[in-house]
Chains A and B, each alone.
Chain A
């Protein structure tokens, strides 16, 4: 009987201690950043992650037209193709400059009447390299789509930038997709099945 009290006290202490430890563990991870002193910066091991030393924001517009803009709100747009829920249009006289390349063949893509994509054609390996280098500098190293060096992708938040170049045709396409809006039209036949 005389051992019962210390045993009970020990048991209760253990329970309370365990509870407190579990709580502090879950809080520790969410401790505010200011708690970490600047000198605590840890150097990483041998692996590297190719990221630019700057803050990246996803493009929220193309050439002044915001994602989601209805077709009717884009001045001088001429619809050139409709494909299920997708529609594509051109604006005469639009010239898009990227790096040192001036591009005039700009196609605006709409999904469910919302501006969701842009495709711009360019010609020549030199233009391809200039645009690619510009995007690498601005965003990061791209990923190679399906392992092909001439099919590149930059996922930037909800925007996917792609470059597809054909060495045989000596021409390529630079595309921007705002994925949340373009997704319904990305299936076969411009998302007809979803209608």
Chain B
């Protein structure tokens, strides 16, 4: 079972300070959202693929192709009917789509999926603890960043126990596949309850384990992970800010626009 998203590959992306990477990610979101022309959105995707290749994390993108594909299809199919454009093309009863809105739909599909993919590249190259440390250095209280890191660590455990519960109940004749939606939802109770109870029980144990290792001592805590912004990190941040600024500027001057909206 895929235990974690992080892939320990030691590439340039892995060595970047998580704060710099975060700046880069946010900048990428700004750039992607700045434009709504499918060509530009495709460009964003190209950038993500390059980053994925450079960080050797394309395998994770492949693994989530289902989700990415779904995002793209939903946006590309629905948005044309909700965005209004000057050149009408299709009519389905009261709703219509225009040439512009079709392009718009494509762009939204591409940029949404590109943003999610960029997030995945970020997670593939950043250890959760590094990310949590980065947030902490940016001002987030330690307890919060710890909770975040622990939550991510617990996801595979949680999934594992869910899978075990599903198997146990299936072995007693629980049929999760048949029946209409509400019946099927109700049938998940025998799965939900054991999973929640197990989670609650283990929370109690985890709290004890934490205390037993000195968590919550009042004096200053030290940190084994060291985060230092190096030249490369500052350059990256500068590029990120520059790129985001340039994108906003370009859009304000009419570039990459198919419809006059976000």
A and B co-occur in one complex: no
